[in-house]
Amino acid sequence: MRVKNQFQTGANEQTPSLTRRAFLAAAASATAFSIMSPALARGATANSRVTVGTIGAGGRGAWIADHVAKQPGFQITALADYFPNVAEAVGEKLQVPKERRFSGLNAYRRLLESKVDAVFLETPPYFFPIHAKAAVEAGCHVYMAKPVAVDVPGCLGILEAGRQATKNKKVFQVDFQTRADPFYIEAMKHVRTGMLGKIGLITPFYHDDCFLDPAKEKTIEPLLHRLAWCNDNALGGAYILNCDVHAIDVALWIAGELPESAVGFSVRNRANAIHDSHDCYAISYHFKSGIVMSHQSEHVPNSFGTIGCNAYGQKSHIKTIYGGAVSIRGVEDLYEGGENKALYADGMQRNVATFHKSIVEGIYDNPTLEPSVNSTLACVLGREAALRGRQMTWAELLRNKARMELDLTGLKT
């Protein structure tokens, strides 16, 4: 059976090597546009315009805020960032009133006290559970980046906050770009209907550069810049959480279940490594259904970069590349799929449009919550199994209530 692609006029079977740095460069140069439907745009009146506070205004935070500010259904009325110069510069650009530009470690509290309808969370992941809980308690809709946390208590805290948001009839959305992409969505429909047959092997992978690993100083301020927190386990959760979660999330989407256990190894291989995050991983996961999953990643500047996930069944196989082609090939069945080279930007813009639509139409099922928590937990499982050098079960992981400690001494409040 040949299944034609419904979303593209021409398909390219090449799998381009696109890295996170390439996504960031493309995003910076892209012209922001709205994927909001004309009807929704026309409906963005004073009654449906959502006031927004952005918490975290660095690279991606400023980029998303710029896009949100250009949408007729949103109005950014408050902004928070740890660094005063960032809060002032981005606030000035987005015409946020000067008295509503907040800085310091507790800037998020002052932003919430200023009263907004919704918040966008774009800070180091360590702070997500704290900020999300406070935002939900303040009665806000929440849009947040991934990974949702750096440890088990943080993940469970996000799950609790998201479920409370649902009870409060508020939207809680996590920004995974692949889950909003038409090619991925259509391919997963075919996986669910059995096009692959019984799946035996899933292979997520992530190859890209590392980020600047700054020297240690009296405070952790140097790690708060330019994704440097990826190098620190407590602040960023390590590279496997910040980066590899994209590929592992797709793998769990394909598997349709959670792993029972993981075992693997990891190492720091970036030159002049200073902080504790490992950057090379080889981890095997096992599922109750019998599926085995082999995850490999490395974050070293060696001119090789590609991100994706493949899976192999008894009848056919699926190949996915983030920012590249998605397709299914088999002896009898075929999904031609296609590619979206602008997935990094397009996925965010689709998610922002869905966030607004859900708010104004009162859609509070919040379907991104549990998958995002589970993919983050799967990465925590892989990280901890590799650090321990032994098999670790999902049940054992969930019993570990220890929080990762972060020294905030000396930070401006």
DSSP element (H, E) containing 251:
helix 245-255
Higher pLDDT, 305 or 11: 305
Cα(100)–Cα(88) distance, rounded to whole angstroms?
10
The whole-number average pLDDT for the span 74-91 is 98
Query: pLDDT tens-digit profile of 362-386?
Result: 999 999 999 999 999 999 999 999 9
Among the residue ranges 142-156, 182-196, 323-337, 340-354, the one predicted with the least confidence is: 323-337
Q: Name the percent of the chain lying above pLDDT 90.
A: 86
All domains of the chain, ordered by start, with CATH?
29-174 (3.40.50.720), 178-343+369-399 (3.30.360.10)
pLDDT of residue 379: 98
Query: pLDDT tens-digit profile of 221-232?
Result: 999 999 999 999
C-alpha distances in Å from residue 215, one per residue of 124, 219, 270, 272, 334: 18, 11, 14, 10, 51
pLDDT of residue 47: 53
pLDDT of residue 7: 33
Q: In angstroms, how far is CA 310 from the centroid of its own chain?
A: 19
Average pLDDT, the chain: 90
DSSP codes of every residue in 139-193: T-EEEE-SS--SSHHHHHHHHHHHHHHHHTT--EEE--SGGG-HHHHHHHHHHHT
Count H helices, E strands: the chain? 14, 16
C-alpha distances in Å from residue 289, one per residue of 42, 45, 150, 286, 373: 48, 50, 28, 9, 21
Q: Is 138 helix (H, G, I), strand (E, B) or coil?
A: coil
> What's the token pair of residue 30?
């892209």
Decide if pLDDT at 399 tops 90.
Answer: yes
Cα(54)–Cα(44) distance, rounded to whole angstroms?
20
Cα(116)–Cα(111) distance, rounded to whole angstroms?
8
Higher pLDDT, 403 or 39: 403
pLDDT of residue 253: 98
Assess whether the previous peptide bond of 147 is cis (omega < 30° from 0).
Answer: yes
Query: pLDDT tens-digit profile of 138-157?
Result: 999 999 999 999 999 999 99
Which long-range CB contacts under 8 A does 218-224 form with residues at least 24 apart?
Answer: 218/410, 219/409, 219/410, 219/411, 220/406, 220/407, 220/408, 220/411, 221/82, 221/411, 223/124, 223/275, 224/82, 224/83, 224/124
Among the residue ranges 42-51, 58-67, 244-253, the one predicted with the least confidence is: 42-51
Please report which confidence band the pLDDT of residue 331 belongs to, taking 50, 70 and 90 as the band edges.
confident
